[in-house]
Structures are given as structure tokens and as C-alpha cells.
Amino acid sequence: MKYFLLFVFLFSSLSCTGQTEKKLPANPGEKGSDKILIVYLTRTKNTKAVAEMINQEVGGDLVELELVNPYPEDYRAIVAQVARENETGFLPPLKTKVDISKYETIFLGFPTWGMQLPPPMKSFLHENDLSGKTLIPFNTNAGYGIGSSFDTVKELAPNSRILEGFSTRGGIERDGVLFVMEGEKEVEVKNEVTKWLDGLGFKKNNP
């Protein structure tokens, strides 16, 4: 009887140990910064500025999405091209390649284009298997909000865990207002980003 009870005790201990090893962190901030990727698309550099703010808070690798064939510099030309891509479902090929297997948490940064997710970010979501990853979208826009962009992220990554996103007003390229993340605006957005990340479970300098 004594040996039987000892066997039951040892078996129970091993079972508990196995369950502990498989348990995933409740908060993404509990994962090491070496498993965090911050990938972003930017044109007026406002989304880049927010990506850098996030990087300062959580660490990780910072990667800008680049296209094989870059968009034209002219604003009207890029608007027309993006509209055609959205209508036809064309996914522009990416020059940027990332080994997604290295990461568990991926921040996705992009501006709102035509009230939609920009085609290059759609390309990224199509090209990479994000199953089981934690995705966190963040956005800059001209004052009209995120449109359908966050919903599209969910649609294109159905097997990912998607957390609450962040959005802030950036430039208005149509009106010639480009980079705005400086001065009081920069301080304001930094505070908003910190509060958002705290809510997600990230702690400054302790990702």
C-alpha cells in the first residue's frame, strides 16, 4: 500500500509539472523581447514613429515592410494604384522577408488607406503562417479612423490570437500635412502608447 501511494504521488507530481511547462503566459508581456516582432508599413513616417515608441517599451525586432516595386511618390498616383489593387485583390510582392517562426508576438503597424488595410499588409498576412501567434495591430490615420483594417487582420489571420489594437491621428497627406509625431503630439502619443501597452500586460523595459 505504501509503494502504491508513493507511485500515485510521483505520477501526480509529473503530471502537474507537464501541465506547468505547457501553460502559455496570460499576458504577452511575459514573453521575452527576443520573441517580439514589430512590423510596419509607413509612408509619411508617422506609423514608423509609433512603431519606434512601441519598440522602446517592449523591445523586439523592428522591421519596415518594403515592396519589390515601390509605390509612386505622387499622392494621387498612389491613391489610384491602391484603389485598383483593392478592387482586383492584387497583393503587391514584398521585398521584406521575415522568419516568422522566431516570434510569438507580432505587432502590425499600418496607416488607413481608403478606409481599408493597405495591400502590402494584406500581402504580409497572406505570405506568412501566423497560426498560434499573438497579433497586435496599431494604426495611424488622417482622422477617419481604422475603417475595416482591424477586421481584415482578423479575417486574414483566423488562427491567431488578436489583441486590442491602437489607433491615433497622423498626417493628412492629401492636404500636405505629413510627419506630425513631434513636439506635444509626440509626447501625447507616447503616453497613449504606454497606457495601451500597460493594458495589454507589457511593462516598460521588462517585456
Task: Residue 171: name the closest of 48, 39, 54 by CA.
Answer: 48
Helix (H) or strand (E) holding 62: strand 61-64
Looking at residue 34, its pLDDT comes to: 80
Sorted by where each begins, the domain ranges of the chain are 28-200
132-167 confidence digits (pLDDT tens): 999 999 999 999 999 999 999 999 999 999 999 999
Looking at residue 9, its pLDDT comes to: 36
Q: How far apart are CA 56 and CA 50, in angstroms?
A: 10
Q: What is the mean pLDDT of residues 115-135?
A: 98
18-34 confidence digits (pLDDT tens): 332 333 345 676 657 88
Q: What angle do CA 90, 64, 46 make, to 5 degrees?
A: 95
Question: Is residue 2 scored above 60 in pLDDT?
Answer: no
pTM for the whole thing? 0.85
Architecture in CATH for domain 28-200? 3-Layer(aba) Sandwich (3.40)
185-198 confidence digits (pLDDT tens): 999 999 999 999 99
